[in-house]
Chain A
Amino acid sequence: MTIAPSLSRQQPAASVHPGPLLKVEDLSIEFGPKGTAVRVVEGVSFTIDTGAAVGIVGESGSGKSMTSLAVMGLIPSPPGRIATGRILFEGVDLLGLPRSRMPEIRGRDIAMIFQEPMSSLNPVMTIGDQIGEAIKLHQKMGREERRQRVVELLKLVGIPDPERRLGAYPHQFSGGMRQRVMIAMAVACNPKLLIADEPTTALDVTIQAQVLELMHKIRRTLNTTILLISHDLGVIADICERVIVMYAGKVVEDADVKTIFRSPKHPYTRGLLQSIPRLKDENTRLYQIPGMVPLPGTIKQGCPFFPRCPDRIDKCARETPPLLEITPQQKAACWVSAGATS
């Protein structure tokens, strides 16, 4: 029997690349036929340093999933398309790569966990085969060695009795267990960047806590850089040290988690902070930001948050606020917080 190499020895030390691991610049994503296309993500820019854990937060429909799918090169196309921007991974523009190069990067350098644990596993393949495939696609390894590694991964994500569970099918697992399998699959090749798109949204509260604990463990043991997406600032604060707030396809605030909790600059972020569930006062009704996220394409000019904003001034209706640096740790796209008064 071969002894599988320990998880931390899987890859040589990360290549030394100066600058951030991921740099997204002016990313815009459109849906629909050219001419009548609707922009669901517009002018999004952010960076993620190696080893960091960054969150993206925003209400449903704000473009979080599309932004992360763009990084993976998985925007469903047609009808979707990346209209502008660059996605630099270790300094290389992924959008400029030939299509055939992306599969090498997916799963090996950048991996992703999806929002829907129930439907994201192939129902006719055993989970052992599905995790094994993630390894097989990127690493030369004997059958038995690979099997050992899959068992190790299942152990890492906390699936009891992994040897026996290798041959089980997804329908034999609960939602939480399936998400663990997805995580095992995503970290199988020890990716440099792990994107987790609302990994806990579809799960029960207790299971959510367990999966978040697992994310912590992954970060501790594998040193993976993490991009965590959630509509819950509480979840993000638990894992990340920085957070990007998205609203209607745009970044409206980008700051340290600590800074954002202490002094949020964008009115939308303040609304989000007020709507975090607190365990103590369970019976008080949760605060909800009044109004709804505008449908993509309906805001033609001015600040996208204008219709719902408690602080709005006249200027907001006419001009779209750019994302401005307020302090070196904090950027926000709001006229009022930038000092405008009329």
Chain B
Amino acid sequence: MLYRLADAIPTIWLVLTLVFIAMRILPGDPAIAALGDGALPEQLAEFREKMGLNVPIWQQYFNFLIGTLTLDFGKSYMNGAPVLDLIARNLPYTIQLTVAAMILGTVIGIPFGVLAAVKRGKLPDSGMRIFSLVGYAVPDFYLGALFLIGFALNLRWFPINGAGSGFFDILHHLFLPALTLALVKAAFIGRLTRTSVLEVLGKDYVRTARAKGARENRVIYRHALRNALLPLATGMGLSLLATLSGSVAVELVFNRPGIGRLLIQSITERDYGVIQGGVVVFALMVVFVNLMMDLLYVVIDPRIRVK
């Protein structure tokens, strides 16, 4: 496992470097963005000095890497708050959203996929096909906007913005954004489950289970599903990553705090430190998700456990 962690280091470094380069290539001067068009040259110089923007580019890069290692991303150009604080304040909301969407998507997607596989060619299967087509075709921000207008603005069942406080209030705020992401995810997971279960249902050990006298439900949930989860686990990992990126759009639509919105905001403001910090956190989450997937494999598949 430690080895896998070490494996991820070059990936993270690459991401960091790409972000750094992208930030410098993008047009726009962070000092002007922060202080406004009317700022005096001395003010701009002072700002650059304070934020470490006046040293040669390779040194900025070096400082950035060192800063990342020590989890010090400097201060926000806009409001002077430490980047780490900004991230720490926003991260929990993104995690809430992603986890809720993941759970909801799995809880909807897997049973739906199993049903479609078992009732192959019948109504649930067609339903699944339509659902997954829609799920693929409709972008999540659009779906989010629909939900927002329908259930929050018109019906007033849900709040229109923010993240809420207190357990139930949080859930109340979380529901629509999470559902938005979850439906797209459920379409994906459902389709994947269907394919995977169909394949497994044709296996010899499924026939063995039937030959023992297991009834269909047992055959499906005890024998087929667990084997079908193996290929599904990879798909779930990918889908979790897709949710992370989808959370950016959804946070904007629902005006929720979170890393995604923080990133978008700081990109428009050329807030280098925050962008870099945000991207590093995203990259770390991706690496973390991949590690969790590897762990999940070990739990599901005894053949890996032994080696």
Contacts and interface: CB of A to CB of B under 8 A. Distances in A.
Nearest to B121: A78
B227 A124 contact: yes
A80 to B, nearest CB: 13
A122 B301 CA distance: 11
Nearest to B300: A124
Contact of A169 (B210, B222, B302): B302
B268 interface: no
B204 A114 contact: yes
B213 interface: yes
A182 interface: yes
B226 A124 contact: yes
A111 B302 contact: no
B125 to A, nearest CB: 14
Interface in A74-128: 74, 76, 100, 103-108, 111-112, 114, 116, 119-126
B306 interface: yes
Nearest to A135: B212
Nearest to A115: B204
Interface string B116-131: 0000000000000000
Contacts of B207: 74, 114, 120
Contacts of A104: 213
Nearest to B205: A122
Interface string B193-211: 0000000001111011111
Contact of A107 (B211, B300, B303, B306): B211
A133 B214 contact: yes
Nearest to B301: A124
Nearest to B210: A74
A301 interface: no
B213 A182 contact: no
A107 B227 contact: no
> How big is chain B's contact interface, by range?
20 to 34
A172 interface: yes
A172 B305 CA distance: 12
B213 A121 contact: no
A209 interface: no
Contacts of A169: 302-303, 306
B300 A111 contact: no
Given A116-B204, A120-B204, A137 B214 contact: yes
Nearest to B224: A122
B302 A121 contact: no
A203 interface: no
A171 B306 CA distance: 10
Contacts of A185: 208, 212
Contacts of A215: none
Listed residue (B204, B212, B302) with the most chain A CB atoms within 10 angstroms of its CB: B212
Interface in B9-32: none
B48 interface: no
Contact of B205 (A74, A120, A171, A186): A120
A296 B142 CA distance: 55
Given A124-B227, A171-B303, A134 B204 contact: no
B303 A121 contact: no
A180 to B, nearest CB: 14
Contact of A111 (B211, B226, B301): B211
Interface string B266-307: 000000000000000000000000000000000011110010
21 contacts: A72-B211, A103-B213, A103-B214, A103-B215, A105-B213, A106-B213, A111-B211, A111-B212, A119-B204, A119-B205, A120-B204, A120-B207, A120-B208, A124-B226, A124-B227, A124-B300, A126-B302, A133-B212, A137-B212, A169-B303, A171-B306
Given A114-B208, A124-B300, 15 more contacts: A74-B211, A103-B214, A103-B215, A106-B213, A107-B212, A122-B223, A123-B205, A123-B301, A123-B303, A124-B226, A126-B302, A133-B214, A134-B212, A134-B213, A138-B213
